[in-house]
Amino acid sequence: MPTLVMKFGGTSVADPERIRRAARRVAEAKADGHQVAVVVSAMGHTTDELIGLAGKVAREPARRELDALMSTGEAVSAALTAMALEDQGLPARSLNAFQCDMRTDGGHGRARLEGVDADGLHRMLEQGVIPVVTGFQGIAASGDITTLGRGGSDTTAVAIAAALAVQRDGGCCEIYTDVDGVHTADPRLVPDAPKLGAITYDEMLELAAMGAGVMHARAVVFGQRHGVPIHVRHSQRPEPGTMIQRETPHMESIAVIGCALKTDLGRVHLQGACRAWCSAPSPAEA
């Protein structure tokens, strides 16, 4: 059976109804004959709220304790998602970073993943149990909880997909979000910008570097390194999204894939100022 790793972002699990919808998506994938592992982010703006809460009790929160605090958001989402799956008759088990041995280098705030317990996940899948894994976090050799930084849940999902070698059986890592895929331009600015059915890792990295926020570059690099196909899809719509993958022959003839926009950039143009400054007398001459 093809294996899917289905990752649901904060907007996709923002409230109980959306969690139930995500559970229904998982149930549909199971009914189609897939083995499924799930990765979840914290609900809505929970992570930002936790950071704000930390700032109210300490001027400079200790990074170790901040990671411990922020990791609770994903734990709530994982437990609730597992409950929703069980309510639909699907055996499920929430797992935190320690339980699936998501090892990191120990850097608080932006830790790097070093390994995942694929054997444990495989055993659960073979038993028909859906693992629901907390994204965005890992465990250092010291036993401390660490967080992966921006885009961390996407990185967790791709790392689990790589550990399970989903590409070997025709599976992939599905990233469910509030957009329906990668477009040739930001559809919020260009409403008729067409959606791309497929894009290469390198092209996605270029768009991400230029400001496209659909996928975080770190997760794309992980997917490219391990050959994991990444399918970006809308969490509330059934149609296919955009597949991020290795280049195929028919893609070579496409010269321009898309354009991206960076905001909050300023430009200063100086005219004649350099000449005036260069011709000004030095303090010694004055």
Average pLDDT of the chain?
88
Mean pLDDT of 222-248: 91
Question: Is the model's pLDDT at 256 over the cut of 70?
Answer: no
Classify residue 191: in a domain, yes or no.
yes
Write down the H helix ranges in the chain. 16-31, 46-57, 63-87, 118-126, 152-164, 201-209, 217-226, 273-279
At 65-96, the pLDDT tens digits run 999 999 999 999 999 999 999 999 999 999 99
> What pLDDT sits at residue 143?
95
Total number of domains constituting the chain: 1
Query: Looking at per-residue confidence, does 241 or 262 come out higher?
Result: 241
Classify residue 145: in a domain, yes or no.
yes
Q: What confidence category does residue 283 fall into, taking pLDDT thresholds of 50, 70 and 90?
A: very low
Work out whether strand 113-115 and strand 103-104 pair parallel, antiparallel, or are unpaired: antiparallel
Question: Is the model's pLDDT at 209 over the cut of 80?
Answer: no
pTM: 0.85
Cα(134)–Cα(144) distance, integer angstroms: 15
Cα(10)–Cα(48) distance, integer angstroms: 11
Question: Is the model's pLDDT at 254 over the cut of 60?
Answer: no
Q: Which residue has the tokens 């997917």?
A: 223
Mean pLDDT of 114-124: 93
Residues 6+ apart with CB under 8 A from 151: 215, 216, 217, 218, 219
Classify residue 51: in a domain, yes or no.
yes
Mean pLDDT of 169-197: 87
> What pLDDT sits at residue 156?
96
| % of the chain at pLDDT higher than 70 | 85
Q: What angle do CA 227, 229, 233 make, to 5 degrees?
A: 160
Question: Is the model's pLDDT at 204 over the cut of 70?
Answer: yes
Q: How many CB atoms lie within 10 A of CB 46?
A: 19
The least confident of 109-123, 253-267, 270-284 is 270-284
Tokens of 260: 């991206």
Q: What confidence category does residue 276 fall into, taking pLDDT thresholds of 50, 70 and 90?
A: very low
> What pLDDT sits at residue 225?
93
> CATH number for the domain including 119?
3.40.1160.10
> What pLDDT sits at residue 275?
47
Question: Is the model's pLDDT at 264 over the cut of 90?
Answer: no
Range among 119-128, 233-242, 271-280 with highest mean pLDDT value: 119-128
Mean pLDDT of 28-49: 96
Classify residue 284: in a domain, yes or no.
no
Classify residue 152: in a domain, yes or no.
yes
Query: Looking at per-residue confidence, does 16 or 177 come out higher?
Result: 16
Mean pLDDT of 160-165: 96
| % of the chain at pLDDT higher than 90 | 70
Asked whether 145 and 71 are in contact (CB, 8 A), the reply is yes
> What pLDDT sits at residue 122?
95
Classify residue 213: in a domain, yes or no.
yes
DSSP state of 196: P
Structural domain range at position 180: 3-279
Asked whether 181 and 243 are in contact (CB, 8 A), the reply is no
> What pLDDT sits at residue 193?
85
Classify residue 273: in a domain, yes or no.
yes
Classify residue 182: in a domain, yes or no.
yes
Query: Could you give the dihedral angle defined by the CA atoms of residues 120, 126, 130 and 135, in that order, rounded to the nearest 10 degrees?
Result: 30
